[in-house]
Amino acid sequence: MEIKSAEMALSSYSTINHHHLPAAAHSQLAPRATYRNTATVEEPAIKSHNRSSSAINIPATLSNLLHLHTKHHTNSETTTASVNNNPTLTLENFDRRTPTYSPTEDISSLCTKIHGSADWSHLLSPLHPWLRREILKYGEFSQSTYDAFDSNPFSQYGGSCLYGRHRLFEKIGLLRHGYDVTKYLYAMSHVDLPIWLERSLHAEAWSRDSNWMGYVAVSGDEESCRIGCRDIVVAWRGTVRPAEWLEDIQGKLESIESNDDSHIKVEHGFHSLYTSKGETTRYNKLSASEQVMSEIKRLVRFYQEKGEKVSITITGHSLGGALALLNAYEAASALPSVPVSVISFGAPRVGNEAFGNRLKELGVKALRMVIKQDVVPKMPGILFNEGIKMVEKVTGTLEWVYTHVGVELGLNVRTSPYLKNCIDFAGFHNLEIYLHLVDGYMSSKSGFRCGAKRDVALINKASGMLREEIGIPPCWHQTANSGLMCNSYGRWVMPNRVPEDIPSPYRDGPMVM
């Protein structure tokens, strides 16, 4: 698919009443990008409703923002400073009644390209709206592994999923994506347990050695028709607290194959988490690797026998992105006829150059979302990484040097007018910040797009990165009363879960098809 122009902007969008835009704003509207055979029309979500009139008006302060967003910028830092220094940006600038997502379209004509068959060439700059929405879809699958994780150490079920797999998407609000969860995944570690692997302090804890790490899901009939294939998704959870990354990473490369002398090496801590198991455990008699691969193979076999086209998409944020690459390596090795792609957010390096080369040979396609200010993608190997190539001319290939895999989509917090101009390393790594920036991304040379629809309030769900003028409190997503409820006797207690939401190695097994 060819792209005729390089910028997407506002002049062709039907939901803005251009008669109410100031003349200066009209002059700055850039030509939109046109995609052949594409019926997609993106709508600006930033609007203001004039309470004294039925017409939609955009105040001068917001017009200045539109001017900055749609103008072709060569200096994003200067642009951002101008936007973020605007003291009049308030909640009154926005119409909170606009929908947070657009109707979905049939994207089957771009199925293979959206899954990376051509390394997403011609789809990233400018970012094709169909690809943007798919990235956000997989990002929301990743986010659900945080939203549904019971991180309360006083809970009997701390470290598990809050909901049974049949209720997960309903409770998290992801039914609209049209996928069904078929299996939950659990992991344990034989290395010294890092802090983020929360353990329940409850005397009758559901498990002392396992944690819920994600799930396998598959697209339903309607969604499969829309995207052009039966999509098997694996979503891996990342660390609970981003500041603990220095403790999580062991910084030691080891062979990923049974042959210890293999030059294909990955980070020890990630590999241990993915492959560890124990006979005395309830949930990890099989490793996370064995759990996920048995389910993927079962689903592939089931749908291929029906003559369907199948794809595997593995997603994760932070540590979840590292597990996604290990999973992709194994899936592509075991199922060479099935396309495997990875959509990751803020993921660290996982292995050495030989590992990356082997992934390429296997045909794995990886698209990495990386925020410029996020330090996690710079780890491990913050000193010894792919930038040391010039030394290898003298020393030869260095097997202990870490390298990234795949195509990078670079993001910058300074492009968003909604974010504080501050230094917040945990905030820079937050997955909701990633999804916000993807939603506003057009190209590396453009500002934040006005057609972004994702609710900005989600940014402050677990952070305080939103500008205070917008009026959203920081870290608002909290469990009421720390999970306690008042019982019929007037005593505050931890409530019992409904039977469907109680962890069970049998109930969490594969779905009968």
CB 358 within 8 A of CB 328: no
DSSP state of 355: H
What kind and span of H or E run contains 61?
A: helix 60-70
**Which of the following is catalytic: 276, 318, 341, 344?**
318
374 classed as catalytic = yes
Which one of the listed residues 429, 439, 463, 501 is annotated catalytic? 429
Q: Is the peptide bond before 380 cis (omega within 30 degrees of 0)?
A: yes
Planar angle of CA 427, 431, 433, nearest 5 degrees: 55
Cα–Cα distance list, 124 to 127, 228, 282, 367 (Å): 4, 20, 44, 10
CA–CA separation, 392 and 386 (whole Å): 10
Known catalytic membership, residue 429: yes
Token duo for residue 352: 């050495």
Q: How is the chain split among helix, strand and coil, in percent rounded to 5? A: 35, 15, 50
Long-range contacts for 82-86 (Cβ within 8 Å, ≥24 apart)? Answer: 83/417, 83/447, 84/414, 84/417, 84/419, 84/420, 84/421, 84/467, 85/421, 86/61, 86/417
Sorted by sequence, the CB contacts under 8 Å of residue 213 that are 6+ apart come out as 145, 185, 186, 187, 236, 237, 288, 320, 323
Identified catalytic residue from 374, 439, 455, 501: 374
Q: Which amino acid is at 453?
A: K
Q: Which of 383, 256, 374, 259 is nearest to 325 (CA)?
A: 256
Q: Would you say 430 and 463 are in contact if contact means Cβ atoms under 8 Å apart?
A: yes
| Rounded-to-integer distance, Cα 63 and Cα 80, Å | 15
CB neighbours of residue 120 within 10 Å: 22
What is the three-class DSSP state of 400? coil
Question: Which residues are tagged catalytic?
Answer: 318, 374, 429
